[in-house]
Amino acid sequence: MTEPSDASLQVAAEEAGHRLDAFLAKHFTSYSRVQLRRAVSEGQVLVDGRKAKPSYRLNEDQIVFITFPSRGPTGPAPEPIALDLLYEDECIAVVNKPYGMVVHPAKGHWSGTLAAALSHHFTHLSSVGGATRPGIVHRLDRDTSGVILVAKTDTAHTKIAAQFEARTVAKEYCALVSPSPDRDRDWINAPIGPHPYQREKMAIRPDDASAREAQTFYEVKERFKGISYLKVKPKTGRTHQIRVHLTHAGYPILADKLYSGRSKIVRGDISGLREDTTVLLNRQALHAHRLEIEHPASSERMEFVSPLPEDFSRCLAEIRKYRTLR
């Protein structure tokens, strides 16, 4: 059946006072909250014929009209993209994702995705995540490298997703930050929600109803002059969580253009020799190093580790060379 391109709804008495974004999420469950908020921001949602903000409080009998956001392709076309497999059996696969690869199709990224590569390499993948996310149980940001888990069956997907929901999955990331944290280890506990006016960003939103609880533990592995190498363990899994939390705490990740404003690190930044413009890192210095789960079939506790990629290792080596504390 063809999905309608638009729809209108009348606000019921019991829905009076509800936020517009919450109202839309209730009635149009096949769309994500991010998609619906974007539709509001782009003027695709009208309340009594007028544009409104996602936070607008509705009144009884108002008419909400929506032109549905485009979904794009129904699923990724298989592409013969090389995969670095860390582990595989009949239930799961574990991939070492390179930076620069988008996990699943989205606006502006319909090809070259991990989902397209998985569709080419594997005959069977779980369908729980929908047509555009075959086998995808969780995700990593495009420019974050490292361990990502893939479910081959719906049963495996459901069991692993339950572990993420119960927060029994152990995740460990490596990060380079500047300046250095004051404490050697700490918890960051601050709710994260969409940025109020920059839609590509997330932000700490303690007073916003759409914000979700987020917890991150970090520990300093090595300290250098003005830079630290961190081990980071997120307890929750919010969008951009580590990047937002570390920026909020005052020590953003190196070369994180979205949150620190710098898109690359050159050797001169580290050595002090400004004429040396050799690029060491041109993406955020964040790597998903370790993932530990209970196997969905055997219940065995399993650990998967991705070594530091070449660009991250090269940058760290230069920092050790030029920024070691004396």
pLDDT tens-digit series, residues 187-205: 999 999 999 889 889 999 9
276 in catalytic set: no
Mean pLDDT for the chain overall: 91
Q: Do 176 and 299 have their domain in common?
A: yes
d(CA 319, CA 91): 41
Q: Do 29 and 131 have their domain in common?
A: no
Of the listed ranges 23-27, 141-145, 244-248, the one predicted with least confidence: 23-27
Query: Model confidence over 274-284: pLDDT tens digits?
Result: 899 999 999 99
Whether residue 208 lies inside any domain: the answer is yes
**Cβ-based neighbours of 50, under 8 Å, separated by 6 or more:** none
Q: Say what percent of the chain tops pLDDT 70.
A: 94
Q: Do 183 and 312 have their domain in common?
A: yes
* Closest to 82 (Cα-Cα) out of 108, 109, 120: 120
125 — pLDDT class (breaks 50, 70, 90): very high
* Cβ neighbours of 160 (radius 10 Å): 24
Q: Do 158 and 178 have their domain in common?
A: no
Q: Do 54 and 89 have their domain in common?
A: no
Q: How many domains are contained in the chain?
A: 3
Q: Say what percent of the chain tops pLDDT 90.
A: 74
Q: Phi-psi category of 3—alpha, beta or left, where left has phi over 0 and alpha has psi -120 to 50?
A: beta
pLDDT over 70 at 215, yes or no: yes
Query: Model confidence over 82-94: pLDDT tens digits?
Result: 999 999 999 999 9
pLDDT over 80 at 31, yes or no: no
The reported pLDDT for the residue numbered 2 is 43
Query: Model confidence over 64-119: pLDDT tens digits?
Result: 999 876 555 456 788 999 999 999 999 999 999 999 999 987 767 678 999 999 99
Q: Do 174 and 316 have their domain in common?
A: yes
Whether residue 130 lies inside any domain: the answer is yes
Distance from the Cα of residue 78 to its chain's centroid:
23
The reported pLDDT for the residue numbered 75 is 67
Whether residue 287 lies inside any domain: the answer is yes
Beta-strand ranges (E) seen in the chain are: 6-10, 45-47, 50-51, 63-67, 85-88, 92-97, 145-151, 170-177, 185-189, 192-194, 202-204, 215-223, 228-234, 265-266, 279-281, 286-294, 301-305
Whether residue 53 lies inside any domain: the answer is yes
Q: Do 131 and 263 have their domain in common?
A: no
Choosing from 21, 141, 143, 311, the catalytic residue is 141
The reported pLDDT for the residue numbered 204 is 96
CATH at 115: 3.30.2350.10
Domain boundary among 117, 137, 165: 165
d(CA 28, CA 155): 26
Are the beta carbons of 121 and 147 closer than 8 angstroms? no
Task: Read off the pTM.
Answer: 0.77
The reported pLDDT for the residue numbered 1 is 35
Task: Please state the rounded mean pLDDT for residues 9-26.
Answer: 91
d(CA 175, CA 42): 35
302 — pLDDT class (breaks 50, 70, 90): very high
Q: Do 161 and 191 have their domain in common?
A: no
Q: Do 99 and 16 have their domain in common?
A: no
Q: Do 93 and 12 have their domain in common?
A: no
